Chain A
């Protein structure tokens, strides 16, 4: 995974609350293999009209959104389902950071597992960012955002921060503890002999 330290980029501003996972990636695209790329599915139905044409008034479709790595939205971003495809859609579209007042828990776990920063900022600061113009700088080292000459602090769970800064993948850390896991499992089988379903 690519480590995340700091980025400076254009920002897409979505003044919407509850941008749920069904908006980020409608269910009908979930059967696609990741290798096909999920970028074009991002916010598919919100960004298109009834005939399937891109809506020019939707922020993601604006010319200045091209190459944007930062997305700003209102509260409860990524609430809803556990579909990691919602994160694939953002990442494959080119986003590396989402700034919002709150995020769905499963979504932010999935994000951290794919190198996407979920920066939690105060509601007022998010409103400021939504109204501001121009590029946004996000620095994970000191958890700050710079935009329109303002400095804004954001929060992220320290474990996720460390993971993103280093580009770590959990499974390698876990497999190095295999002996410990096996010992736990052996003890546990004695403690809870009913654990494994009998009819196998």
Chain B
């Protein structure tokens, strides 16, 4: 029987199938972070130990301050959160990429960077953007605290096999259009819950042409269409990335593994529950205007008018979103002024993202304040070697340490009430970047363009010198 990539990886991990159809899945990698304290508390209440600390890794990211690394400068609650993670990792003998580790960074950046994320793995973390790791052809998904406690105690998880959706993106991406734009267009097309209950596989020539960074961005945003996970079949691009990563297999083990990984693809006549396709060549730089990632439009478009929307629930969502965002129906998107920009997060903080933003900012000045936070301390060092930090600083932006930072504001980096932020992050939910904050999602190059002009800007016009 022809199998999909997802089927192949899933089947390899089934320990047992229960009568009701749920599978007990073996978990190859489990990442924990400061937010995992509820899961560790559950272990404590049962006096249980982590079953497989050798497959569990801790990363300090959600609460880490990015403007200072001196603990005495941290707020008390942040010190508490970091201390809890350190204590729990030490207690359970879990390796921690902590605050003082030169490899520290955002969990979904560090895993791939260190070679912990590999094709064919099952990988979980108490964070919905765990879907990121699917870029390697792994089944990777976010779990709650009860599930994380279950994985810590048993290295397994009960799961009902999801349905499967293939998203095929063919054609060449036009200049100025990136993986972020592909993802936002997919979410707009299927809806924020359109892929609910499904595992996604991204296929097609445009996906094959993406770098690992691009694939990570794309898979990262799978959860924003409601998908359980997103995957790209591993290929030479994947194998090239893995080679020489510090914690990846090497030498004969790597050869052995790669031979297996080459079998991980969807068979030509494998069946999917649904299919979606997109023409890459038709895409334009895309931004979100509302309070759900599905509220995405080409930057050249105008805002929707609820009075002209027939679906009652949809019209109401538009009205509330426009009201919260402080925008008018029918307004030109390019006329929307921003108060600040944020370049970072597990979605868009890798070296390629920083290069794309720096390319736009080189020789230009930002007219609004902005924060640039690299995805890991190693990416920070690399960007500094390449002189990207100088470009950001010379443009007037703040160059800071690695962490989740202003994507979710847990470390205190907030967008103020009513402020509008052009952001390379993943969620434009109400209050996501701080109470009353207004978020517009876009690619790093588009956020850089907004910094230069002070409003949402078609970066292609900036590059040809026709932007206002």
Contacts and interface: CB of A to CB of B under 8 A. Distances in A.
B160 A27 contact: no
Interface string B196-208: 1100000000000
A105 to B, nearest CB: 5
A110 B146 contact: yes
B143 A105 contact: no
Nearest to A20: B429
B432 interface: yes
A30 B63 CA distance: 11
Interface string B145-184: 1110110011110101010000000000000000000000
Given A18-B291, A81-B127, A177-B16, A106 B142 contact: yes
B247 A199 contact: yes
B63 A31 contact: yes
A80 interface: yes
Interface string A174-200: 110110110011001000111111111
A84 B38 contact: yes
A40 B155 CA distance: 34
A23 B432 CA distance: 8
A188 B27 CA distance: 11
Interface stretch (A60-68, A135-143, A155-163): A155-163
B417 interface: yes
Interface stretch (A2-10, A71-79, A144-152): A71-79
Nearest to A48: B435
Given A31-B80, A82-B128, A110 B256 contact: no
Contact of B253 (A74, A84, A184, A194): A194
Contact of A22 (B20, B77, B254, B432): B432
A27 B461 CA distance: 37
A177 to B, nearest CB: 6
Nearest to B320: A16
Q: Secondary structure of the A side of the interface?
A: loop
B26 A185 contact: yes
Given A74-B313, A82-B127, A104 B226 contact: yes
Contacts of A106: 128, 141-144
Contact of B144 (A76, A103, A110, A184): A110
A114 B38 CA distance: 13
B144 A84 contact: yes
A27 B414 CA distance: 11
Interface in B364-391: none
Interface string A42-74: 000110001000000000000000000000001
Given A16-B320, A18-B291, A23-B430, A84 B250 contact: no
Interface residues of B, number: 80
Nearest to A193: B253
Interface in A76-105: 76, 79-85, 87, 102-105
Contacts of A83: 35, 144
A188 to B, nearest CB: 7
B304 to A, nearest CB: 14
Contacts of A105: 162, 196-197, 226, 228
Contacts of B260: 192
A81 B128 contact: yes
A45 B247 contact: no
Interface centre among B128, B250, B417 (most CB of A within 10 A): B128
A192 B153 CA distance: 22
Given A159-B160, A162-B20, A194-B254, A23 B431 contact: yes
Interface in B1-51: 15-16, 20-22, 24, 26, 28, 34-35, 37-38, 41, 46
B38 A180 contact: no
A104 B196 contact: yes
A27 B429 CA distance: 12
Nearest to B410: A27
A79 B142 contact: no
Given A22-B429, A171-B149, A102 B196 contact: yes
B126 A82 contact: yes
B153 A175 contact: yes
B87 interface: no
Contacts of B313: 17, 74-75, 123, 127
A199 B95 CA distance: 11
Interface in A10-30: 15-18, 20, 22-23, 26-28, 30
A159 B431 contact: no
Contacts of B128: 80-82, 106
Nearest to B431: A45
B154 A80 contact: no
A102 B162 CA distance: 15
A158 B191 CA distance: 26
A171 B150 contact: yes
Interface string A111-124: 00110000000010
25 contacts: A18-B317, A20-B292, A20-B430, A22-B429, A23-B429, A31-B77, A50-B417, A50-B436, A84-B144, A103-B196, A104-B193, A105-B196, A105-B226, A110-B147, A113-B146, A123-B313, A170-B150, A177-B24, A178-B154, A193-B253, A194-B254, A196-B54, A196-B55, A198-B249, A198-B253
Given A22-B431, A173-B158, 4 more contacts: A45-B431, A177-B24, A181-B156, A184-B26
Interface of B: 15-16, 20-22, 24, 26, 28, 34-35, 37-38, 41, 46, 54-55, 63, 77, 80-81, 95, 115-116, 118, 126-128, 130, 141-147, 149-150, 153-156, 158, 160, 162, 191-193, 196-197, 223, 226, 228, 246-250, 253-254, 256-257, 260, 291-292, 313-314, 316-317, 320, 408-410, 417, 427, 429-432, 435-436
